[in-house]
Amino acid sequence: VQLQASGGGLVQPGGSLRLSCAASGSILSTISMGWYREAPGKQREWIAGISSSGSPSYADSVKGRFTISRDNAKNTVYLQMNSLKPEDTAVYYCNALIMALPNYQRGTYWGQGTLVTVSS
C-alpha cells in the first residue's frame, strides 16, 4: 500500500490550496484518513480526520478554515485549505488506516509529505 500526496505550494496569506492524497495497492477497505502537519522546529500535529462514513473532525487551529473530504471509490482524501495564514506553513502529511490483502491486516500508512508555504 502506498499513499501519494500532492497539491502543496506557495500561497499568499488569505489564499487557498487543495491537497490530495491517493492510496493505492491491495486495499480492501480504507477505514479512516487524515492529515497531519509538521512546521519547522515543531512536532508533527494532527489537523483533520475523516471516517469511512465521511464524518469529519478538526483541530481547533484549522476549524472553520479547512475542510476534509474523501472519495471512497478512488481511495483519496482531500484537504481544502482556505484563509491560509503564515503559521499554516508546514509539510503536510496524509495518513490512512487501511485493511489490505493478503491477510486482511490493518495498518497505518503515511504519504511522503507536501510542502505548503504561506508567505507574501
Mean pLDDT, to the nearest integer, of 74-81? 96
Residue written as cell 477497505?
A: 29
Please name the helix (run of DSSP H) or strand (run of DSSP E) that holds residue 58, with its range, or none: strand 56-58
- Determine the pLDDT at residue 104: 87
Buried b (16+ CB within 10 A) or exposed e, 68-92: bebeeeebbbbbebeebeeebbbbb
Please provide the average confidence, as pLDDT, over all residues in the chain.
Answer: 96
Model pLDDT, residue 25: 93
- Per-residue pLDDT for 75 more than 90? yes
**Residue 59 reports pLDDT greater than 90:** yes
- The pLDDT tens digits of the residues spanning 1-58 come to 999 999 999 999 999 999 999 999 999 999 999 999 999 999 999 999 999 999 999 9
Helix, strand, coil in percent for the chain, rounding step 5: 5, 60, 35
Q: What is the pLDDT of residue 93?
A: 98
Label residue 71 by pLDDT band (50, 70, 90): very high
pLDDT at 99 over 90: yes
pLDDT of residue 96: 97
